[in-house]
């Protein structure tokens, strides 16, 4: 009797396993610094109090703890590393074991941080979910609005004792060259962002940033069969089946979305693709692999604007990030109806000190001064107007507060006031939100360690 039950039990287990097929595709969206207050402010900015951002409509949610191995308030490197590796990491360290000590690179004679100081005995590389995906035969990519070697993208494909080691991190992405990360197999399939100087030689004629070793990593990529782009037009001609590197800013990150879309665009913004356009192209290229893919997409300029206590640029970049999520959802639902084999995760690496202020009436513009029920400006204890959004710390704490007007508070270049006076606004240590949809999304619930996100993605992908 008991023996007769065994085949039936095996059949039932097999059927259950078939129903819970792994997510062969994972798209991991990271809004750098996009804490809960930034999400709420962006929602009101774009859609009003009653609206929702597009990623807020995803059916699964969780709350994520963000502390690092050695700090109550994390920086981007260990928080992203925890998502990618499943371990707690020390601040400033890129996807290395918990015992790795941060060691700042040194400047060369031109003032560039090209001298790596990571000693061989200082910790060991922690495998990332991107590397595990590559080992399983899937295509992999990283897309960001920051430098391509910045903390968040680097944590997907590189290992370093310090996030500022961008020149050494760049070496890890180039197949066949000295310093290459062999865990990437035949290499990243897609890499997009800024910071071209980390990949190109120093140019004495223009006194630019650049590599002291004289290597032209973009030429090395091309020699390995990569299509290499420096602007949106060159990106557009890349086709599935090609490996692709797009670096759209020479010496820095990409422009803020507010500046990229200005008339005329500021800086290099006129030639740079949007985050949605980069996301769409990455999916087009990666989805050619029938075994699936892993893609990381970062809205990194949200964090930069918040550090600069400039909320308007942070909110516009959050909306652009939200649009990129919707782009991915629409594209993947065409490729994989119902997201039966695709997991999409949207979260942040850490919070900031952004806070709501006062008792503004409903419908009051989020970037305005606080106004009461009749539209009158509310005043502080010294009889001065004040804005709805402020920061817990940062540089903008005047000795004597002056009135703030609506036009000033809503301006592109307005910097919100702060409580504690510091040279720059810092990260916050609060929890962040996570949203998920598709295959394996039901496991994301409750309050989770950031390391647990790696475990759940790995399980969903069957890695």
Specify the 3-state DSSP secondary structure of 77: helix
Question: Which of 267, 247, 263 is closest to 255 using CA atoms?
Answer: 267
Distance CA 41, CA 53 (A): 10
Q: Which residue has the tokens 């800013």?
A: 249
> Are 116 and 94 spatial neighbours (Cβ–Cβ below 8 Å)?
no
Question: Which of 304, 296, 298 is closest to 256 using CA atoms?
Answer: 304
Q: Determine the Cα angle at 199 with ends 224 and 346, to 5°.
A: 90
Q: How far is CA 83 from CA 31, 86, 101, 435, in A?
A: 13, 6, 19, 14
Q: How far is CA 78 from CA 94, 370, 380, 451, in A?
A: 7, 37, 39, 10
DSSP H or E segment with residue 296:
strand 293-299
Question: Which of 28, 30, 58, 27 is closest to 318 using CA atoms?
Answer: 30
Q: Determine the Cα angle at 139 with ends 66 and 29, to 5°.
A: 30
Within 224-352, residue ranges assigned H as helices are: 232-236, 257-260, 275-286, 301-307, 311-335
Residues 26, 30, 36, 37: what is their CA dihedral angle, to the nearest 10 degrees? -150
Residues in the chain: 463
Q: How far is CA 247 from CA 134, 240, 252, 379, 425, in A?
A: 22, 18, 10, 48, 28
> Are 226 and 243 spatial neighbours (Cβ–Cβ below 8 Å)?
yes
Distance CA 318, CA 416 (A): 17
Question: Does residue 165 have an active-site annotation?
Answer: no
Q: Which of 68, 76, 160, 165 is catalytic?
A: 76
Crossing angle (nearest 10°) for helices 311-335 and 275-286:
30
So which residues are the catalytic ones? Answer: 76
């Amino acid at each position: 009797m008991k023996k007769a039950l065994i085949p039936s039990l095996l059949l039932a287990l097999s059927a259950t396993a078939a129903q819970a097929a792994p997510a062969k595709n994972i798209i991991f969206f990271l809004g750098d610094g996009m804490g809960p207050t930034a999400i709420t402010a962006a929602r009101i900015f774009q859609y009003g109090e009653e609206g929702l951002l597009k990623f807020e409509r995803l059916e699964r949610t969780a709350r994520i703890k963000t502390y690092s191995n050695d700090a109550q308030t994390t920086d981007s490197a260990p928080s992203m590393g925890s998502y990618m590796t499943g371990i707690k990491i020390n601040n400033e360290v890129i996807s290395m074991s918990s015992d790795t000590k941060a060691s700042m690179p040194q400047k060369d004679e031109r003032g560039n941080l090209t001298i790596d100081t990571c000693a061989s005995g200082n910790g060991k590389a922690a495998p990332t979910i991107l590397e595990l995906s590559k080992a399983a035969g899937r295509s992999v990519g990283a897309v960001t609005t920051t430098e391509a070697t910045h903390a968040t993208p680097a944590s997907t494909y590189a290992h370093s004792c310090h996030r500022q080691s961008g020149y050494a991190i760049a070496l890890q992405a180039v197949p066949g060259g000295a310093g290459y990360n062999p865990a990437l197999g035949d290499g990243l399939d897609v890499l997009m962002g800024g910071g071209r100087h980390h990949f190109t030689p120093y140019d004495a004629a223009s006194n630019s940033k650049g590599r002291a070793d004289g290597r032209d990593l973009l030429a090395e990529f091309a020699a390995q069969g990569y299509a290499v782009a420096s602007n949106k037009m060159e990106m557009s001609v890349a086709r599935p089946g090609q490996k692709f590197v797009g670096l759209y800013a020479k010496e820095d990150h990409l422009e803020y979305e507010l500046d990229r879309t200005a008339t005329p665009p500021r800086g290099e913004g006129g030639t740079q693709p949007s985050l949605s356009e980069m996301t769409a192209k990455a999916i087009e290229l990666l989805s050619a692999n029938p075994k699936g893919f892993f893609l990381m997409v970062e809205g990194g300029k949200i964090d930069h604007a918040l550090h600069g206590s400039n909320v308007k640029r942070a909110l516009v970049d959050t909306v652009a990030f939200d649009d990129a999520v919707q782009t991915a959802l629409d594209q993947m639902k065409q490729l994989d109806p119902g997201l039966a084999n695709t997991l999409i995760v949207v979260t942040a690496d850490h919070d900031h000190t952004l806070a709501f202020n006062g008792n503004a009436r409903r419908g009051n513009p989020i970037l305005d001064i606080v106004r009461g029920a009749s539209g009158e400006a509310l005043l502080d204890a010294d009889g001065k107007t004040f804005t709805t959004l402020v920061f817990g710390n940062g540089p903008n704490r005047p000795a004597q507060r002056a009135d703030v007007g609506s036009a000033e508070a809503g301006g592109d270049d307005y910097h919100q006031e702060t409580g504690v006076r510091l040279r720059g606004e810092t990260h916050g240590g609060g929890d962040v939100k996570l949203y998920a949809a598709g295959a394996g999304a039901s496991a994301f619930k409750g309050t989770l360690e950031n390391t647990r996100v790696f475990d759940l993605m790995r399980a969903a992908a069957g890695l």
